[in-house]
């Protein structure tokens, strides 16, 4: 029997609520979930930046979710506050201690917000920089202003992306996903069945040499 749209809306919202409550990495006590046709919005507060990220990841795991807008705010417990100098020092130490992050990347801090700047050659290096500082005590948000600088033939970029997609175990054979390159920016189009497939495609694109940015136009069929 086919469900009515209202019933489906309630089912998706309830499922996201349950997934947030089930995830041990998320304190969902102050999270509100809104759903419009599979487009989910999270509002409220969480006590840490890793929980901010984990909440969005949990919502994306739910069947029927086609988009996630993470409007959560990080409300740090009193004991987790760090002044700007200490937080910036901790962030730069974390960057220096990560072998994937180039020396050119630096961090500054203001009111718990870390801004990353510098230049890297690969998107994976930029992602590593974000991950290196995301779990630090006192972080409320991470703003990534790192630039990717790599000179390569666009034809080679397309080839590298396609090879990365072909290697991915989560991208099914016969997928209609396509990647087009212009000025180092990869535009992904086509259809994927789940958020796991979506994330695998985007991650595969970022792994290719010469990618400056990824424009995600993928559609999730559910």
On the question of pLDDT at 1 being above 60, the answer is no
Evaluate whether the domain defined by 78-148 bears CATH number 3.30.1340: yes
Q: Model-level pTM?
A: 0.70
On the question of pLDDT at 28 being above 90, the answer is yes
pLDDT at 23: 93
Domain ranges of the chain: 5-74, 78-148, 154-220
Q: Which two tokens stand for residue 150?
A: 């790599």
CATH of 154-220, one of 3.40.50.150, 3.30.1340.30, 3.30.1360.180, 3.40.50.300: 3.30.1340.30
Residues 6+ apart with CB under 8 A from 25: 50, 51, 54, 58
pLDDT at 205: 80
Domain 5-74 adopts which CATH fold?
3.30.1340
Per-residue pLDDT tens for 100-127? 999 999 999 999 999 999 998 877 888 8
pLDDT at 86: 96
> Residue written as tokens 């759903």?
35
Which phi and psi angles does 27 have, rounded to 5°?
-95, 100
Per-residue pLDDT tens for 164-219? 777 776 777 777 888 887 777 788 888 888 888 888 888 878 776 667 778 888 88
Same fold, 78-148 and 154-220: yes
Whole-angstrom Cα distance, residue 175 to residue 199? 14
Contact of 95 with 123, CB cutoff 8 Å: no
Query: Coil, strand, or helix at residue 146?
Result: coil
Mean pLDDT of 145-159: 71
């Amino acid at each position: 029997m086919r469900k009515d749209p209202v019933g489906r809306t309630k089912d998706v919202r309830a499922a996201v609520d349950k997934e947030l409550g089930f995830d041990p990495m998320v304190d969902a006590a102050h999270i509100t979930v809104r759903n419009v046709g599979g487009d989910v919005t999270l509002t409220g507060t969480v006590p840490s930046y890793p929980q901010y990220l984990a909440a969005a990841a949990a919502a994306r795991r739910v069947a029927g979710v086609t988009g996630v807008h993470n409007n959560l705010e990080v409300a740090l417990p009193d004991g987790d506050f760090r002044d700007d100098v200490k937080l910036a020092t901790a962030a730069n130490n974390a960057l220096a201690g990560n072998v994937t992050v180039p020396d050119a990347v630096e961090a500054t801090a203001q009111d718990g917000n870390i801004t990353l700047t510098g230049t890297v050659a690969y998107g994976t290096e930029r992602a590593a920089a974000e991950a290196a500082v995301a779990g630090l005590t006192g972080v409320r948000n991470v703003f990534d202003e790192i630039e990717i600088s790599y000179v390569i033939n666009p034809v080679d970029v397309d080839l590298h992306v396609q090879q990365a997609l072909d290697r991915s175990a989560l991208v099914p054979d016969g997928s209609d996903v396509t990647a087009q390159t212009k000025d180092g920016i990869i535009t992904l189009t086509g259809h994927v069945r789940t958020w796991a497939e979506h994330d695998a495609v985007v991650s595969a694109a970022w792994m290719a040499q010469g990618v400056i940015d990824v424009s995600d136009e993928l559609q999730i069929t559910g």
